[in-house]
Amino acid sequence: FIILPPDMHFHMIIVAVFWFGFVDSRKIRGISSSYKRFFRERKSFLCIDGSKIIPFEQVNDDYCDCEDGSDEPGTSACPQGRFYCTNLGFRPHYIPSSRVNDGICDCCDASDEYNSHAHCQNACWNLGQRERAYVEGQMRTLDEGLQLKQQLIEEGVLLWREKQAQLRELQQVAEDLQTKLEERRSRKQEADRLKEQTPRPPEAGDGQNSTVTGTFKLLDSNKDGSITVDEVQAKVALVHDEERVLSEDEAVALLGGDHQMDLTTFQHTLWDILTNGGRVKVSALSNTFLFVFLSDLREKLAIDYGPDWEFLFLNSQCYKLKVYEYTYTLCPFNQVTQQSTAGTEVSLGRWGMWEGPPKNQYGRMVYENGEPCWQGGSRSTTVTLTCGTETALRSVKEPSKCQYIMDFQTPVACQPVLKQRGIHSEL
Amino acid sequence: MAPVLVLWLAMSLSGTWAVDKGNFKTCDQSAFCKRQRALKPGDSPYRALLETMELTNTRLTLQLINDNNKVRLLLELYRLQGNMTRVKINELKPLKPRFEVPDVLITEPSTEPLSLLSQDENGVVLSLGTESQRVIISARPFRLDIMEGPEVLMSLNSRGLLAFEHLRMRKDTSLLIHILAQWMISIFKEEEEKVDGMWEETFKSHSDSKPNGPSAISLDFSLPGVEHVYGIPEHADTLRLKTTDNGDPYRLYNLDVFQYELYNPMALYGAVPVMLAHKAQRTTGIFWLNAAETWVDISSNTAGKVCSSETPQTDVRWISESGIIDVFIMLGPTPKDVFSQYASLTGTQSFPPLAAVGYHQCRWNYNDQEDVASVDAGFDEHDIPYDYIWLDIEHTDGKRYFTWDSHKFASPKEMLQALEDKKRKMVAIVDPHIKVDSNYKIHNEIRNKGFYIKNKDGGDYEGWCWPGSAGYPDFTRPDMRAWWASMFAYDQYEGTAENLYTWNDMNEPSVFNGPEVTMHKDAVHGAWEHRDVHNLYGLYVQMATAEGQIQRSGGVERPFVLTRAFFAGSQRYGAVWTGDNAAEWDHLKVSIPMCLSLGLVGISFCGADVGGFFKSPSTELLVRWYQTGAYQPFFRAHAHLDTPRREPWLFGPENTALIRDVVRQRYTLLPYWYQQFYHAYRTGEPIMRPLWVEYPQDPATFALDDEFLIGKDLLVHPVTEEGARGVTAYLPGKDQVWFDVHTFQKHNGAQSLYIPVTMSSIPVFQRGGSIIPRKMRVRRSSSCMTHDPYTLYVALNLQRTAEGELYIDDGHTFNYEKKEFIHRRLSFAKNMLSSVNLATDAEFSTGSWIERIVILGASKPSKVTLKTADGQESQLEFDFDASMSVLTLRKPGVNAGLDWNVMLQ
C-alpha cells in the first residue's frame, strides 16, 4: 500500500470515479492505444505526472498546461511533449511535439501535419513493404551468416588447437635447443681449458648428437614437411660469417636448385653439406629466430579471438578496399594501412584492442599508433564489425584528420540475439 | 583557414602555437610609419593662406603651405547634415592624382550652410549650421578647433603632426643628374633608401618597388576631456583602446594572421578606420576614409595616473601610406547620434534572412554528401535545431571555386534538396583566389577579360594560395564585380539551389607567398596601386558576392554572405567573423570586445568560431563557448581540419543536453534577435553593444568588456573562466531593475552582482521596463517556426511600466522594403498591456498569435480581461507565482498582427 499525499488521493479518486463513466467519444490525436485510458473524455484531465488537473477542453487545445506535456499529445504546444505516429502498415513511433505541424512530414501516415502547408502522402504501406523486404533480406543474411559463423567457430576451435599444439612443439624444440646450446657452451669452455694443455684436435661436427630428422624439423619452421628458401635463409648460415643472411640464390643452391626440399632429399643432399663441415652450418642464431617466432606465436595466441575463437581465422588474412585514390588494407589483429595511387604506404594503426559497447563487446576493434600526424598524435582506425555472409571491408571514412572508421562485414559478427529482436514483431 | 605554407613553416621553425610575429611588420619595419612616427609634436610647418579662402554656401576651401618645402595643399571643409564636419586635404597640384576611396560612402553626403562669423590675419571663425558650433581656423601654424559654446570638442593639427608627403619625381630621373655622377647618385640613393625606404622597401625577401615614391599622410586629433576611445577594429584587444606610447600604434591593414596573438595592436583580417571617443557628456567619432595601410597612435595625459589634476585629454594620430586626408568628424552628442551619423555616411547593417540569425554548423570539412546527411540527421536525433550546414574548401574540385568535387559531392542538388526538405540551408565557400588552370572556366574567363590584378610589370599577378598558383580578380572594377555576380546564377554555378549561400574567406587578400601573407603593394589595379586599395579588397569581394545572390533570385531574396576581410561599409553586405581563433579560454573572452568593437563601427553581424578554430577545446570550454556564442549575433561553430570531430552530441549525454539547451535558448529568442537586426538595419545602432552605449553617464560601464547588451533589453555576462563557480556582473542603471531570465529573480541596478554558476548557467538579465517576444516552440530550424505563436515576457520597472516591439515579416525576401511587415509597439502601463501598430502604412499578415504573456514583477490580479480590435472582451485564465511575482496569462490567442489589450484588475 502506497501512502499518497492528501491531494493525490483526491486526484486518484477523480480518476477512479471517471474511469468507467465515459466512453471515448472524441478522437485524441497523437496518443498510442496504451495511453488512451488517460484521455477518456470527462470533465477534467489529470496530467499524467499527477501534477495538475485541468478542464478536459484544455487537452490538445494548443496550449501547454501540464509540466510533463501530457495534455498536448497532439499539438506542438509542449516543449517536452511527444506525438505518437500510428503509422498503420509500418512501424509506430513517437516524434517530439516540435515536429507536429512544422511543414515537414515525419509520420509516414501524415498524421503529424494535420494543420500545415505540407502535402504529406501516406507512405506507410510502401515503407512497410520496403522495410519488410529489407528485414527479410537481413534475416536471410543473418541465417546464412550464423551458419557460416558456426563453421568458422568449428574451424576456429580446430585452428586454436592446432596452434596450441604448434606452440607446445615449438616450446619443446626451443627447450631442446636451449639445452644443446648450453651443452655446447660448456663443452667449448672445457675445450678452451684443454686447449691450453694439449694441442688442438680437429673440431668435431655438431652432428654427433643431431639426427637427420631433428635437424630437418629444426629447419622446417612451419612444420609443413618441407624446407623452403625462407626457412633456409632463416636458419642456415655461413661458417665464417654467421651474421650474414644467405641470399635467395645461395639458399636455392643449397636446396639443390629448387625452392623446397622434403626430408628424403634433405637426407641425401643438404644434410651432407651441413655435416661435412662445409662452408655452411645450422646457425646458432636460429634459436634467436625460434624465440622470436615463439614469442610471436604466444603473443598471437594471447589475443582475444572471441569466446569460441571465431575471429581466429581473420588472423592471417588481409582485406582491401579502394576509395577514390587510396587503397586501404585491413589485416585483422595486425595492422591497417593506406596506400595512395602514387604507391606510398602509410600505417593507419596497429592492433590495439576490442572496444565494442558492453552489449556487443566484439562489435568494434581499434588499431592505434599508426604513422604520426602532421599536427601531433598518430593515426588510428576504428573498425566496426557487422553481420554479412562474406568477410570483406565495406567502407572507409576519415571523419577527422588521422582518425579512420572502417565498416568490416563478416559472418562471425552475426549475432543470434539480433534475430530474437527481429523487427517482424513490430510490423 | 590559414595558409598551409605558413603553418608548415611555423610548425617546423618554432613548433609553438603562436603567431610568428616576424612575418608581420612593426611600425619600424614599415618605412612610412617609421618616418612619420619620427616626427614629434611641435610647431607645424603648415600655414593657412587665408587670402586663398573661398567660401560658398556649403564649402570652404583654403590653401595650406608647408614653409619648409613650399608645397601647397588644398583644404576643403564641409558642414554635413546631422552634425558632422568633413575635412579633406589633398595636394593643391599633385604630380598625378592621389587615390580617393570610392564605393564606401552610400551617397555624396548632404551639406549644410557654413557662414563666416569673423576673420582676421590670424584666422577665421565659421559657424557650423544652426547649433552653437564653430570652427576656428588658425593660420600660423595651421590648426582647426571645433567648438561648442566655450567647449573645444576636437582640435586638428594642434600637435603639429599634419604631414603630407607630396608626390615627386625620382631624383635619378632628373635631367640635372649627370651620367658621370651616376655612381655617386646611386650611392646617395641607396643611402636615402636605407634611411627612408622612400623609393624601395624590402621586408624579409619581398621587395616593394614604390614607383611613386613616398606618399604618406598624417594628422593629429586632440580630444579634450576624453579618457575612453573605442573602435578601429580589427584587433584582438580590449574594448577600450590602450595608449600606444610604449609600443606600436594600432595597425589597420587587412592580413591573414596565422594563430593571432591576443591583446596587442597587430593588424588582423579587417579594418574599419573609425574611432569613437566618449566622455560622460558627449560621444564623438572620427572616420578616416583611407584604404591604404594605416597606423593609429593613441596617447593620453592621464593614462596610468591614479589621480591627476590635469584636465584629461586623449590625443590620437592617424598615419596612412597613400591617398588623401578625408576625415569625417561626427559630433554626437550621444552614442546613438554617432551611430546614426556614421550610418548616414556608410549605410547600416544589411537585414539578413531570419535563418541566418539561427545556428550554423561548420567544419573544415564535411567530407562528402554522406557526411552532410549524417550530421544533419545527428541534429534531429539529438533534437538540436540548426539552420545552415557549411562546406569549406574541400568540397570543390581541387580548390576551384564554383565547382564541386565529383566524387564527394556528386549530386549537390540532391543534397540541397534533402536539406530543403527539412527547411534547412547550406553555405559553400567561394574564395577570391582563382586557380591558374587553363581547363578551369572561371580562370579562363577572368584571364580573357583581363580581369586579373596585374603585377608591377603588367602581367597577371600570381600568388600561392589553396589551389597552388592563383590569380586574384580585380574586384575594384565594377565590370569585374558585375561578371562575378553573374557567376552565381543557377545556370552558371552548377549544382546550386536557392538554399545555398556563400562564404568569402581569404579576401584580405591572402597570398601565402606574398609579403606579410598578402599582395605586393606594387601590384596594379588599373590606375591605382594595390597599396592604395588594399583594405577595400575584401569589401568588394563580399559586395560582388552578395550582389550575385540577389541577382540569381531576380532581386527577390535577401543574400547571406560571410566575409573575413572587411572595411568601412562592409556592414551593407552581410556578416563577418573574427577569423581563425583558437580553442583557448582567452580567445573565448576576447570574442566579446572584438565583436563589440565591430558593432560600434556599424558591423553588427559579428561572431567568433564557436569552440575555437585551431586546436581542440576541452568539453568545458566548448560548452561555455556555445553559451557565449548563442548570445552573440553570428552563431557558428567551426573547427580546423586537423581537430577531432566536435558536433554537439559527441561529448556525452550531459554535455549534449547543455549545448542543446543553449541552442534552444537562442531559438526561443529569435523574434527578439530578428527585431534587433531590423533595428540595426534601420538605425545603424549596434545589436551587441557595450553597456556605456545605453548608460553613457555611468563611468563604471566605460571599460566593461566581459559583459554586453543585446539591444537595450538583454544583458549577458557569459562565463568565460575555466572552472568558474561564479561571475560578477555589473547591472547598470540607478532606479533600474533586472530580471534573471532563467529564475525571474529581480535585482537592482547600479550594483555589481555575484552570480553563482554551474555548467548550465549563462547569466542573462532582462531589463525592467522591457517587453521581449519569444517563440517557445523550438523546432528543427527557424523556418519551421514561422507560424508559431509568441510568448511575451513583460518585465516591469519600478514605475510598473514596460515597452517593447514586435516585428514580423516573411523572413527572407526584400518585401519588407515594400512595406510588407508588421511592426507593433507593445506597452504596459496602468495595469494594461496593449499592442498598437507602429507602421500603419505597412501591411503583412501572419498566422502567429499570442500564446502566453509572462509578467515579471507583477502582483496578483483578481481578473484579467482581453479586449480585441472588434471590441470583444473575454476573461483570461492566469497563474500567479507569488514567490517570484510572476504572472502568467493563459492563451490570449489573438493574432499577433492585430490591435488588442489586456487589462489586469
- How much is the pLDDT for A284? 55
Residue A1 has pLDDT above 50, yes or no: no
For residue B406, give how far its alpha carbon lies from the nearest alpha carbon of chain A (Å).
11
Q: What percent of chain A has pLDDT over 70?
A: 83
The single residue of B505, B532, B713, B809 carrying the catalytic annotation is: B505
Mean pLDDT across B526-546 = 98
Residue A18 has pLDDT above 50, yes or no: no
Judged by CB atoms closer than 8 Å, whether chains meet at B367 and A399 is answered as yes
Cα gap B348→B604, rounded to integer Å: 9
Cα gap B406→B411, rounded to integer Å: 8
Judged by CB atoms closer than 8 Å, whether chains meet at A98 and B777 is answered as yes
Residue A390 has pLDDT above 60, yes or no: yes
Q: Does residue B365 have a cis bond before it (omega within 30 degrees)?
A: yes
pLDDT band at A14; cut points 50, 70, 90: very low
For residue B786, give how far its alpha carbon lies from the nearest alpha carbon of chain A (Å).
9
Provide the pairing of β-strand B850-856 with B790-795: parallel
- How much is the pLDDT for B899? 97
Widest Cα–Cα separation across chain A: 122
Q: Which residues in chain B touch residue A79, judged by CB atoms under 8 angstroms apart? A: 776-778
- How much is the pLDDT for A407? 97
Mean pLDDT across B291-296 = 98
Judged by CB atoms closer than 8 Å, whether chains meet at B367 and A375 is answered as no
Q: Does residue A357 have a cis bond before it (omega within 30 degrees)?
A: no
Q: How many angstroms separate the Cα of B852 from the Cα of each of B417, B827, B863, B890, B891?
A: 35, 15, 16, 5, 5
Closest to B78 measured CA to CA, from B114, B123, B126: B114
Going along B745-877, which residue ranges are E strands? Answer: 746-748, 751-756, 764-767, 770-774, 790-795, 802-808, 822-829, 832-837, 850-856, 864-868, 873-875
Query: Which comes out higher in pLDDT, residue A301 or B431?
Result: B431
Q: Which residue in B372, B781, B784, B852 has the most chain A C-beta atoms within 10 A of its own C-beta, making it the best mutation to test that interface?
A: B784
Look over chain B and give the mean of its residue pLDDT values, rounded to a whole number: 94
Closest to B573 measured CA to CA, from B598, B535, B536, B546: B546
- How much is the pLDDT for A283? 65
Judged by CB atoms closer than 8 Å, whether chains meet at B780 and A102 is answered as yes
- Give Cα B557 to chain centroid, integer Å: 23
Place of cell 510490423: A427
Contacts of A393 (CB under 8 A, 6+ apart): A319, A320, A321, A328, A330, A406, A407, A408, A409
Cα gap A224→A358, rounded to integer Å: 41
The three state secondary structure string of B797-814 is CCCCCEEEEEEECCCCEH
Q: What is the pLDDT of residues B49-92, one digit of tens each?
A: 999 999 998 899 999 999 999 999 999 999 999 999 999 999 99
Residue B1 has pLDDT above 60, yes or no: no
The single residue of B580, B609, B706, B788 carrying the catalytic annotation is: B580
- How much is the pLDDT for A264? 82
- How much is the pLDDT for B241? 98
Contacts of A243 (CB under 8 A, 6+ apart): A237, A285
The three state secondary structure string of chain A is CCCCCHHHHHHHHHHHHHHCCCCCCCCCCCCCHHHHHHHCCCCEEECCCCCCEEEHHHCCCCCCCCCCCCCCCCCCCCCCCEEEECCCCCCCEEEEHHHCCCCCCCCCCCCCCCCCCCCCCCCHHHHHHHHHHHHHHHHHHHHHHHHHHHHHHHHHHHHHHHHHHHHHHHHHHHHHHHHHHHHHHHHHHHHHHHHCCCCCCCCCCHHHCCCHHHHHHHHCCCCCCEEEHHHHHHHEEECCCCCCCCCHHHHHHHCCCCCEEEHHHHHHCHHHHHHCCCCEEECCCHHHHHHHHHHHHHHHHHCCCCCCCCCHHHHHCCEEEEECCEEEEEECCCEEEEEECCCCEEEEEEEEEECCCHHHHHHEEEEECCCECCCCCECEEEEEEEECCCCEEEEEEEEECCEEEEEEEEHHHCCHHHHHCCHHHHC
Kindly identify which residue of chain A lies nearest to residue B382, measuring between CA atoms.
A96
Q: What is the pLDDT of residues B446-455, one digit of tens each?
A: 999 999 999 9
Low-confidence winner among A75-89, A199-213, B622-636 (lowest mean pLDDT): A199-213
pLDDT band at A16; cut points 50, 70, 90: very low
Kindly identify which residue of chain A lies nearest to residue B641, measuring between CA atoms.
A401
Q: Which residues in chain B touch residue A402, judged by CB atoms under 8 angstroms apart? A: 642
CA dihedral over B713, B795, B726, B623, signed as positive or negative: negative
Q: How many angstroms separate the Cα of A212 from the Cα of each of A220, A264, B562?
A: 12, 10, 82
B505 catalytic per annotation: yes
- How much is the pLDDT for B95? 96
Set of cell numbers at residue A312: 581466429
Residue A15 burial by Cβ neighbours in a 10 Å radius (0-12, 13-18, 19+): middle
Q: What is the pLDDT of residues B608-625, one digit of tens each?
A: 999 999 999 999 999 999
Q: Which of A169-183, A253-267, B178-192, B747-761 has the highest mean pLDDT?
A: B747-761
pLDDT band at A246; cut points 50, 70, 90: confident
pLDDT band at A286; cut points 50, 70, 90: low
Closest to B688 measured CA to CA, from B802, B807, B594, B793: B594
Mean pLDDT across B154-177 = 83
- How much is the pLDDT for A218? 76
Judged by CB atoms closer than 8 Å, whether chains meet at A96 and B383 is answered as yes
Q: What is the pLDDT of residues A142-163, one digit of tens each?
A: 999 999 999 988 888 888 888 8
Q: What percent of chain B has pLDDT over 90?
A: 92
Query: Which comes out higher in pLDDT, residue B436 or A26?
Result: B436
Is B479 in a helix, a strand, or coil?
A: helix
Domains of chain A: 6-122 (no CATH), 151-196+209-301 (no CATH), 312-413 (2.70.130.10)
pLDDT band at A9; cut points 50, 70, 90: very low
Geometric angle at alpha carbon B75, from B69 and B81, rounded to 5°: 165
Q: How many angstroms separate the Cα of A420 from the Cα of each of A143, A425, B737, B817?
A: 12, 10, 62, 62
Q: Inform me whether the C-beta atom of residue B645 falls under 8 Å from chain A C-beta atoms.
A: yes
Q: Which residues in chain B touch residue A403, judged by CB atoms under 8 angstroms apart? A: 644-645
Q: Inform me whether the C-beta atom of residue B643 falls under 8 Å from chain A C-beta atoms.
A: yes
Residue B599 has pLDDT above 50, yes or no: yes
Q: Which residues in chain A touch residue B383, judged by CB atoms under 8 angstroms apart? A: 96, 98
CA dihedral over A312, A313, A317, A323, signed as positive or negative: negative
Closest to B283 measured CA to CA, from B702, B568, B711: B702
Tally Cβ neighbours within 10 Å of residue A29. Answer: 18
Q: Which residues in chain B touch residue A77, judged by CB atoms under 8 angstroms apart? A: 777, 851
pLDDT band at B408; cut points 50, 70, 90: very high
Cα gap A426→B804, rounded to integer Å: 52
Q: What is the pLDDT of residues B888-905, one digit of tens each?
A: 999 999 999 999 999 999
Q: What is the pLDDT of residues B90-120, one digit of tens each?
A: 999 999 999 999 999 999 999 999 999 999 9
Closest to B712 measured CA to CA, from B666, B798, B770, B753: B770
Of A76, A374, A403, the CB nearest to B644: A403
pLDDT band at A5; cut points 50, 70, 90: very low
Overall size of chain B counted in residues: 905
- How much is the pLDDT for A173? 80
Is the distance from CB of B502 to CB of B558 less than 8 angstroms?
no
Number of helices (H), then strands (E), belonging to chain B: the values are 15, 53
Cα gap B540→B518, rounded to integer Å: 16
Query: What pTM did the predictor assign?
Result: 0.88
Residue B804 has pLDDT above 80, yes or no: yes
For residue B553, give how far its alpha carbon lies from the nearest alpha carbon of chain A (Å).
23
Set of cell numbers at residue B235: 584587433
Query: Which comes out higher in pLDDT, residue A298 or B849?
Result: B849
Closest to A230 measured CA to CA, from A164, A284, A286, A175: A286
Contacts of B224 (CB under 8 A, 6+ apart): B151, B152, B153, B154, B155, B311, B313
